[in-house]
Amino acid sequence: MGNIFSSMFDKLWGSNKELRILILGLDGAGKTTILYRLQIGEVVTTKPTIGFNVETLSYKNLKLNVWDLGGQTSIRPYWRCYYADTAAVIFVVDSTDKDRMSTASKELHLMLQEEELQDAALLVFANKQDQPGALSASEVSKELNLVELKDRSWSIVASSAIKGEGITEGLDWLIDVIKEEQL
Amino acid sequence: MSAHTYKKFENSTSGDLPDKMTIYQDCMNTFNESPVNSKRCRLLISRLLRLLAQGETFPQNEATALFFSISKLFQHQNDPLRQAVYLAIKELSGISEDVLMATSSIMKDVQNGSDLIKPDAIRSLTYVLDESTAFSAERLLKSAVVSRHPSISSAALCTSYHLLPISEVTIRRFTNETQEAVLDLKQFPNQHGNSEYYPNSTYISQYHALGLLYQLKKTDKMALLKLVRHFSENNSMKNQLAKVELVKIVNDLIYRDPQLFSQFRPLLSDWLSNKFESVQLETAKLITSFATRNSRLVAPELYAAAISALQSLLTVPRVSSRFAALRILNRISMVSPEKIVVCNPELESLINDSNRNISTYAITTLLKTGTSKNISSLISTITNFIHDVSDDFKIIIIDAVRTLSLNFPQEWKSILNFLIDVLKNSEGGFKFKNSIVEALIDIVSFVPQSKELALENLCDFIEDCEFNEILVRILHLLGKEGPSAPNPSLYVRHIYNRVVLENSIIRSAAVVALSKFALTKNDPTLYESIISLLKRIANDKDDEVRDRATIALEFIDSARNKDDVIAQNLIESKYFYDIPSLESKLSSYISSNTDSFATAFDVNQVRKFTEDEMKAINLKRKQEQIFNQKSETTLDTTPEAESVPEKRADANSFAGPNLDDHQEDLLATKYADELLSIEQIKPFGQLVNSSRAISLTEPEAEFVVRGVKHLFKDNVVLQFNITNTLTDIALDNVSVVCTPEISDEAELEELFTLQVDRLLPSEEAACYVAFKKLDEIVMEGFLNNLTFTTKEINPDTNEPFDGDEGFQDEYEIDSIFLNAGDYVKSSFTGNFSATFDELPCEEVAVFNIQEDLSIQEVVDKIILNSSCLPVESTQFAPSDSNSHTLKLFGKSALTGSKVALQIKMIKSSKGLALKVHGKGEDSLLCSDLVNGLMQ
């Protein structure tokens, strides 16, 4: 009996299903740091990701399959190979990099037009808030033209992967939205 | 599913492969599922791998899609699945694009993966890294190289080895770690005492480390020397392959600098008794192949030790060792068969070896050790068992016997009897019979004494021969050789029998053969008979046969009654065209088509050879086949053959006069064509003779110059081919100033010099200096100076900078000698002693050579200098004797007069004494050749 209950419970909360989450963004935004912040709770030294990193982590009874794809110009074309079955996209922006905000915006909107990502939720991290001269979350939101997004749950959270600020808040929001929309 | 079909699918040797598209679809679906089903994925990957292993392939887009779906399996942490993923990445890396996407994931495994998958991860780095990403793996590879785990270390070393051409800078950074890894005897971790799980280490990482280290240091001779000294001490090499590699490094070193050999001598003799058979083999191979090139540097004791090591390896139980030892002995037998005669008892017992390859090799080796004494007994040994073996094997034996017949023409009788016996009495397919007939044709053309007996037996053979091609060949041979035989009418009967009995192909061949008998001088009565036979054939029912008969009648008539030379030549060809040059002339004629073929092709441009010259060329080429095999030996013993391959063609090494003639021929034709297309040279008329290209500089000099001497009737042209090896300097107005050494004797008059206007880096161009000779034969040395203006190159435009005046400069190159040999062409004679006695003029000279040269080296030098053909296999000096007689035969390139040389050599402690006895039709040429022989 217990088994039946637990499996019903699982179905209810979808914990036997893995949720695919992509972390995308320009190079040097802090995607890999965020991934390992989430997985092991520490800051690891990273080098530019050639390809991708993938980790499975449990968060609030959910199994998350988090893909961190490299952000270099040469690798961005391959993002689309990993869009299928994605529940959510975390888009990381370097808030201090004002020069490339427009590039980030372009990449973001291009990605969201993809058929396979129509149902995916979007969480934007305005990262590197610990750095001097970082734009605030609302400024980043403006730069990225987030208000234009229709028919999609999205949110922007100011974060600092190094200090661990904002990451869990952002993820909590994301999980809530996914549970609401998809389970 | 029945057991039958189930098995069929699983059986790896069955031809039924899983369907390609099904596998593709399954892979795409399963790999993209979430969560990943690791068992199912592994099974699918194994099927995919089987498809690829069977040679199936996918189009690039499908392969790329497969790769991306497989890359998604990285989300699953399961070691066996991960190993399968790595295998798949390795296989797909060749056909898929964008494999670099796996880089980060692989690197993570290299860093944090389990010991089980780390080696696989490291090895797959080879396939995904490129120039721009290799540096990011530096730290990972470095720490893997020093890992205590042998598999991990080996994998890192192998990957580094393969990454060398991609990113040498990165790999060079761990030279020190690699050096340490060579001596580090790595053991598998064994802390749980579970020794069944981890095997004993073979220390293979030593081999991998040494291989990488060699690549890193191969340009630095001193470093390599130090390396060999360091690693050969204290028996520090435990791995067999590492030891073999060490031997190969020594081989490389002595190949570059033969003088180093003496210091390795103790080491080599130590290695000859190493416990590993492969080390013994490699060492013996090194010593023996080095000895063929530098016989003076190898002590006879060491050589004997190498041979006896090989001898004892012939009887070991391991098949591969026996085979390898035999293979080395076989190669020795090609150049100095007398050295391996000691192994004959072992070789004879190997004839019955159960391994076919070994028995074949044994018999061919034995045949090569044949001397005039034991040939007949060898032949009878083969006769006993040749009927029991397969065709392929028989063909190899026949080829060996053929070589024997070329080397020992005086033993033709027993060889001929053997061949005829096999031809008539054994069963065999076309290839086998054809090889026998080919051997017989060779004997007939190179051993004139054997002609009658051989032709007679071939006549018998064609009475009952089932192969058209062979029949046609024999008929052609009969037509060619028959008319000059003492009793030509004998063959006519046999040939005519074919006309009566055979099909039209053979009938037409027989008609041509018959027609050649009409003009024979040995039996004038035949003319009438042939005419009447041909007239009868002219009514044949096949049109080709009729045509041939009619045209033959026409030719015979005009040749006999109207003295038509052209018709005579068509019946009995007196000369042959130089086929490569004919081909190139014809193709340039067709492609240049200036006046839609209104002017006919001028066949006189093509070099012609007389029959004797043709035979000389053929004989040379046939004997060379042996040498080409030999030069392969010397090449493949060099580790990484790329180090010094082509340049050897210039070195006057043992193979000097024989090396790859065909290539040389093409080059000579090319040079001649270039030369004759120059306006100023055209008045000189027909090119009489061209020498081989001679190196006039060190091959690594800044400007590499090769000289060719071209001889015309009244002129001499020296061609200098200059290669500019500098990378940033162009040479302008390059010319060569030739000063005759003995300038007051003005036998030569300089006419003009053709310079090269501009020579850009790494370009080759020729400049010419032309002389007029006042005597028929002029011998002279020329001091040569290269003069030119250097100009720096602008790297952007690849042209010299504007307004650069440049520097006038000179560069001295070696002298070039025009000697008597340049006036001689090699020619063939079937019976040297008879020809020698017949020639009227005589000249004798005695030389004494003080330098320490071996007899073989002197022989090679003489052959090269005289440009004559060595006959009766006298170009091979026996290495176990202090005397040798060299017999040479040639013809004047200008007049065609014959010249023969007999050179006796005796080696003593004081040096080498030479007595040259020359005879010739032209006394001047003969004396010039004799006296100028050792210049």
By the CB < 8 Å criterion, does B75 face chain A?
yes
Please give the DSSP secondary-structure letter assigned to residue B535: H
Which one is catalytic: A72, A118, A131, A182? Answer: A72
Which residues of A, range 80-139, sit inside 8 Å of B by Cβ? Answer: 81-82, 84-85
Out of B253, B287, B322, a domain closes at: B253
B859-875 pLDDT, tens per residue? 888 887 788 888 777 77
pLDDT of residue A9: 52
Question: Which site among B104, B106, B130 would you substitute to test the A interface, given the most A Cβ atoms closer than 10 Å to its Cβ?
Answer: B104
Distance CA A130, CA A159 (A): 8
By the CB < 8 Å criterion, does B72 face chain A?
yes
By the CB < 8 Å criterion, does B848 face chain A?
no
Q: Helices H, strands E: what count in chain B?
A: 37, 19
- B323 in any annotated domain: no
| Shared-domain flag, residues B833 and B777 | no
By the CB < 8 Å criterion, does B38 face chain A?
no
Give me the sign of the Cα torsion angle B724, B727, B731, B737: negative
B432-490 pLDDT, tens per residue? 888 888 888 888 888 888 888 888 888 888 888 888 888 888 888 888 888 888 888 88
Decide if A78 and B32 are in contact by the 8 Å CB cutoff.
no
Q: What ipTM does this complex have?
A: 0.86
Tell me whether strands A88-94 and A121-127 are parallel, antiparallel or unpaired: parallel
By CA distance, what is B72's nearest residue in A? A82
CA B154 to chain centre: 35
pLDDT score of B214 more than 90: yes
User: Is position A85 annotated in a ligand binding site?
Assistant: no
Domain residues of chain A, as ranges?
13-180
- Tell me what the mean pLDDT of segment B420-441 comes to: 84
Candidate from B379-383, B530-534, B914-918 with smallest mean pLDDT: B379-383
| Shared-domain flag, residues B777 and B729 | yes
| Shared-domain flag, residues B95 and B237 | yes
pLDDT score of B648 more than 70: no
Which listed CATH number (3.40.50.300, 1.10.20.60, 1.10.357.10, 3.30.70.870) goes with A13-180? 3.40.50.300
By CA distance, what is B134's nearest residue in A? A50
Name the helix (H) or strand (E) containing B418.
helix B412-425
| Shared-domain flag, residues B814 and B831 | no
Q: Rounded to a whole number, what is the distance in Å from the CA of A46 to chain B's nearest CA?
A: 11
pLDDT score of B801 more than 50: yes
Q: What is the CATH number of the domain that holds B698?
A: 2.60.40.1480
- B577 in any annotated domain: no
Distance CA B823, CA B805 (A): 44
B56-65 pLDDT, tens per residue? 889 999 999 9
pLDDT score of B660 more than 50: no
- B625 in any annotated domain: no
User: Is position A71 annotated in a ligand binding site?
Assistant: yes
| Shared-domain flag, residues B725 and B785 | yes
pLDDT score of B15 more than 60: no
Decide if B101 and A51 are in contact by the 8 Å CB cutoff.
yes
| Shared-domain flag, residues B728 and B859 | no
pLDDT of residue B872: 75
| Shared-domain flag, residues B864 and B748 | no
By the CB < 8 Å criterion, does A51 face chain B?
yes
By CA distance, what is A50's nearest residue in B? B104
| Shared-domain flag, residues B863 and B812 | no
pLDDT score of B299 more than 90: no
Domain interval for residue B758: 663-818
Q: Rounded to a whole number, what is the distance in Å from the CA of A18 to chain B's nearest CA?
A: 6
Out of B757, B790, B818, a domain closes at: B818
Q: Which residues of A touch B74 (CB under 8 A)?
A: 52, 54
| Shared-domain flag, residues B726 and B831 | no
Q: Which residues of B touch A18 (CB under 8 A)?
A: 34-35
| Shared-domain flag, residues B785 and B828 | no
What does B614-681 look like in DSSP terms, one character per residue? HHHHHHHHHHHHHHHHHHHHHHHTSSSGGGS-GGGGTS--TTGGGTTHHHHHHHHHHHHHHHHTSGGG
pLDDT of residue B592: 76
pLDDT band at B6 (very low <50, low <70, confident <90, very high): very low
pLDDT score of B613 more than 80: no
Out of B789, B818, B847, a domain closes at: B818
Q: Which two tokens stand for residue B816?
A: 């070039």
Q: Please tell me which of the candidates A17, A18, A50 has its beta carbon nearest to residue B103.
A: A50
pLDDT of residue B306: 92
pLDDT band at B644 (very low <50, low <70, confident <90, very high): very low
Task: Return mean pLDDT, chain A.
Answer: 86
Q: What is the CATH number of the domain that holds B74?
A: 1.25.10.10
- B865 in any annotated domain: yes
pLDDT of residue B705: 85
Q: Please tell me which of the candidates A47, A50, A54 has its beta carbon nearest to residue B75.
A: A54
Active site residue A72: yes
User: Is position A47 annotated in a ligand binding site?
Assistant: no
Number of domains making up chain B: 3
- B299 in any annotated domain: no
- B30 in any annotated domain: yes
| Shared-domain flag, residues B21 and B144 | yes
Q: What is the CATH number of the domain that holds B906?
A: 3.30.310.10
Asked if residue B934 lies in contact with residue B914, where contact means CB atoms within 8 angstroms, the answer is: yes
Higher pLDDT among residues B135 and B777, named by residue:
B135
Which residues of A, range 20-49, sit inside 8 Å of B by Cβ? Answer: 20, 47-49
Distance CA B186, CA B197 (A): 16
Q: Which residues of A touch B77 (CB under 8 A)?
A: 56
Distance CA B718, CA B691 (A): 10
| Shared-domain flag, residues B858 and B776 | no
pLDDT of residue B706: 84
Decide if B104 and A56 are in contact by the 8 Å CB cutoff.
no
Q: Which residues of A touch B136 (CB under 8 A)?
A: 47-48, 50
Q: Which residues of B touch A63 (CB under 8 A)?
A: 35
